[in-house]
Amino acid sequence: MDKKKPKKVFVKGAIPPEKIATSIANHQSKTNIGAHSIFLGQIRADEIDGKKVSAIDYSAYEEMAENVFHEIREAAFSKFDMTCCHIYHSLGQVKIGEICLFVFTSSAHRKIAIEACNYLVEEIKAKVPIFGKEIFEDETHQWKVNK
Amino acid sequence: MKLTLRYFGMIAEATGRTEEILNVSDQIKLYDLKDQQIKKYKIQDPEAVQLVVNQDLNTSTVLKEGDEIAFLPPFAGG
């Protein structure tokens, strides 16, 4: 049931730390879970040619991105014996130090939760049409490319 | 035939728009369309531009009336 329902991934602006705490609390009733793994992507204050990044403005081919997120999630469920899996990604401006990606996997045991979480993060970075404009303190910008 | 073109990220910045509808010859192939638009808008680093037809990455090069073609720059999620 949980794995078939397409879920909305995009969140406007930064992901608040409270959302992460609430997500954890929401799993306390699922007592077949023995391990959670969480990945949090945070905006780094990169310095490029002497200019410091102050924020990233995320945009996406939203309809396609939501579909790709769904496919990646389905693939992860068929590869790993997860109990549940949640993905949230920011759209719009996220300042340095704030959270832009939240991947949360749960399983009976730690190994599966950790491997599934790593798999999801790598797939998201490689396959989801999300674009990031790095905004510098002087309000100029450049486009980010995933390495 | 009519095609809807959508532009994202640095490509939208180069084209100055996020979407346009083009009337093109029925014989046009995907790579011809890519070349044509890249020249028209002087889009930098054309090898990094990925085209997706109707949200499908594994698309054929044959286009048909009403297709939506997205011009995608490199991905930067996460």
Mark yes or no for CB contact A61/B6 under 8 Å: yes
> Is residue A134 in some structural domain?
yes
Q: Which of A90-94, A122-126, B27-31, B55-59 has the lowest mean pLDDT?
A: B55-59
Whether A4 shows a pLDDT value over 60: the answer reads: no
Q: Using CA atoms, how far apart are residues A33 and A88, in angstroms rounded to an integer?
A: 21
Closest residue, chain B, to A121 (C-alpha): B78
To which residue do tokens 């286009």 refer?
Answer: B63
Taking an 8 Å cut-off on Cβ atoms, the answer to whether B77 and A145 are in contact is no
Query: Residue ranges of the domains in chain B?
Result: 2-72
Looking up residue A41, the CATH number of its domain turns out to be 3.90.1170.40
In a domain, A2, yes or no: no
Domain of residue A52: give its range: 10-144
Q: Which residues of A touch B48 (CB under 8 A)?
A: 145
Per the structure block, which two tokens stand in for A99? 């959270």
Taking only the tens place, the pLDDT of each residue in A57-71 is: 999 999 999 999 999
User: In this structure, is the dihedral angle defined by the CA atoms of residues B49, B30, B32 and A60, taken in order, positive or negative?
Assistant: negative
Residue A126 lies in a domain: yes
Query: For the structural domain made of B2-72, what CATH number should be given?
Result: 3.10.20.30
Q: How far is B21 from chain A (nearest CA, A)?
A: 17
Q: How many Å lie between the alpha carbon of B38 and the closest alpha carbon of chain A? A: 18
ipTM value of the model? Answer: 0.93
Condensed to tens digits (0 to 9), the pLDDT of residues B22-38 reads 999 999 999 999 999 99
pLDDT digits (tens, 9 = 90+) for A17-73: 999 999 999 999 999 999 999 999 999 999 999 999 999 999 999 999 999 999 999
Per-residue pLDDT band at A6 (split at 50, 70, 90): low
How many structural domains comprise chain A? 1
Residue A1 has pLDDT above 50, yes or no: no
